[in-house]
C-alpha cells in the first residue's frame, strides 16, 4: 500500500510569542507529519497551546524555532495570497460578516480566486452552489447568517472553506458550542470531506469522546509533558489520554469514555453473569461511586435471571423487578 502524499510537516518546531528579544515558548521540539486525506486532532485542556499551534501551522504566527512545511515548502516563504489558496481556516469566533446572507458568506470563500475586483464568474458560482449542497445548507442560502443555528452556521463556514478550494482545512474548536447531535453530524461531515475530497483536515478540541470517535491521528498537547502522537486507540491503550487530561483527583476511564473523580469512590462491584445492559448499569454505578472489582473483593455482586435483578450488599440481597427499578435503586445504595 502506497503512503499518502505528505501535506504538512513540522520539524523541530517551537511555538509561542515574541516581544522584541523576549520569547515565550509554549510548546517545543514538535515533530509531526500529516498526509493527504488525514483527519487529525490537536487535543488538550484549555490553555495548553492548541490555538497557538494552529496559528503557527496556518502562518498567522511565525515559528520561534524550527519549521512548518506545506507540500515540502517552508510556510515562511509563502505569500499571503498563496497561503489563502492552500489553507482554509474555520474559527470559533463569530464571523465579521454576521449580517451577510449564507450565500454571500460562502461566496466570500472565492476571494483568493476572483482577482482584484472580486467578480464571480460562472465557474465561481458553480463551486459556491456545490459547496452549499455538499454540506447540506443550500436551502438556507438566502437567510442571514445571524438568523440560523450554531450548527448550521458551522456548516456554512465549512462550505465557505470548501468554496475557497484549498487542499488543507484547519478548524479551531469547531464543535465548541454545538449540541451533541450537531457535533456528531459536523464531525461526520469532516470525515466525509477527508475521504471523498482527500482534504487534509486538522482540528483542535478538548472533547475526548469526539476525538476518539472521529480522528485518524491525535496530538496530545500540554500538561507539562512532551506532545504525544498516535491513533486514538493507541493512546487509549497506553493511557496517554489519562496522563494528559487527568490529575491526582481524576482518571480517564476508556471503557466509559469519561473521567472519574477519585474522592467519590464508595466501593467495588462485580457482575456474576452477563446481561445486555451491563454497560448502562456500569455507568450508573460509577456515577454513584462504585467501580469494577477486578481481582479485589466486590462490595456489590449483581446477578440476572429471567425475572429479577439482584444485588448482594454486605450479605443483604436487594431484588429489582426490571431495569428501570434497578437504575433508580442504585441511587440509594
Beta strands in 113-177 (DSSP E): 168-172
- The answer on 72 and 118 residing in a single domain is no
Q: What is the pLDDT of residue 96?
A: 61
Q: What is the pLDDT of residue 294?
A: 72
Asked if residue 260 is part of any domain, the answer here is: no
- The answer on 190 and 57 residing in a single domain is yes
Residues of the chain short of pLDDT 50, as ranges, are none
C-alpha 164/C-alpha 159 separation (Å) is 9
Backbone φ and ψ of 221, nearest 5°: -115, 135
Q: What is the pLDDT of residue 130?
A: 94
- The answer on 211 and 147 residing in a single domain is no
- The answer on 196 and 160 residing in a single domain is no
Q: What is the pLDDT of residue 95?
A: 59
pLDDT digits (tens, 9 = 90+) for 187-213: 899 999 999 999 999 999 888 888 888
Q: What is the pLDDT of residue 35?
A: 92
Task: Name the pairing type of β-strands 300-304 and 267-271.
Answer: parallel
Identify whether the C-beta of residue 43 lies closer than 8 Å to the C-beta of residue 205.
Answer: yes
Q: Could you count the other beta carbons within 10 Å of the beta carbon of residue 42?
A: 28
- The answer on 209 and 281 residing in a single domain is no
Q: 44: domain range?
A: 1-86+166-253
Q: Give the bridge partners for 301, in sequence order.
A: 270, 312
Amino acid at each position: 500500500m502506497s503512503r499518502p502524499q505528505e501535506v504538512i510537516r513540522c520539524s523541530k518546531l517551537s511555538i509561542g510569542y515574541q516581544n522584541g528579544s523576549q520569547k515565550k515558548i509554549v510548546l517545543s521540539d514538535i515533530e509531526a507529519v500529516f498526509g493527504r486525506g488525514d483527519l487529525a486532532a490537536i487535543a488538550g485542556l484549555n490553555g495548553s497551546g492548541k490555538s497557538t499551534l494552529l496559528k503557527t501551522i496556518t502562518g498567522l504566527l511565525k515559528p520561534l524555532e524550527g519549521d512548518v512545511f506545506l507540500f515540502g515548502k517552508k510556510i515562511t516563504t509563502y505569500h499571503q495570497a498563496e497561503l489563502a489558496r492552500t489553507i482554509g481556516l474555520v474559527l470559533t469566533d463569530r464571523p465579521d460578516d454576521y449580517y451577510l446572507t449564507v450565500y454571500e458568506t460562502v461566496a466570500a470563500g472565492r476571494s483568493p480566486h476572483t482577482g482584484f475586483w472580486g467578480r464571480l464568474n460562472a465557474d465561481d458560482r458553480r463551486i459556491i452552489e456545490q459547496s452549499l449542497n455538499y454540506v447540506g445548507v443550500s436551502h438556507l442560502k438566502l437567510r442571514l447568517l445571524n438568523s440560523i443555528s450554531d450548527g448550521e452556521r458551522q456548516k456554512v463556514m465549512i462550505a465557505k472553506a470548501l468554496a475557497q478550494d484549498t487542499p488543507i482545512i484547519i478548524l479551531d474548536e469547531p464543535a465548541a458550542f454545538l449540541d451533541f447531535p450537531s457535533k456528531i453530524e459536523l464531525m461526520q461531515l469532516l470525515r466525509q470531506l477527508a475521504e471523498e475530497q482527500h482534504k487534509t483536515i486538522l482540528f483542535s478540541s478538548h472533547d475526548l469522546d469526539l476525538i476518539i470517535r472521529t480522528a485518524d491521528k491525535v496530538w496530545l498537547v500540554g500538561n507539562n509533558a512532551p506532545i504525544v502522537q498516535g491513533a486514538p486507540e493507541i493512546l487509549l491503550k497506553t493511557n496517554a489520554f489519562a496522563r494528559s487530561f487527568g490529575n491526582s483527583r481524576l482518571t480517564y476511564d476508556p471503557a466509559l469514555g469519561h473521567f472519574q473523580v477519585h474522592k467519590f469512590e464508595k466501593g467495588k462491584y462485580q457482575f456474576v453473569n452477563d446481561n445486555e445492559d451491563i454497560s448502562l448499569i456500569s455507568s450508573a454505578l460509577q456515577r454513584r461511586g462504585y467501580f469494577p472489582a477486578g481481582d479485589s473483593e466486590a462490595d456489590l455482586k449483581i446477578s440476572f435471571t429471567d425475572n429479577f435483578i439482584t444485588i448482594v450488599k454486605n450479605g443483604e440481597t436487594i431484588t429489582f423487578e426490571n431495569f428501570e427499578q434497578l437504575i433508580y435503586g442504585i441511587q440509594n445504595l
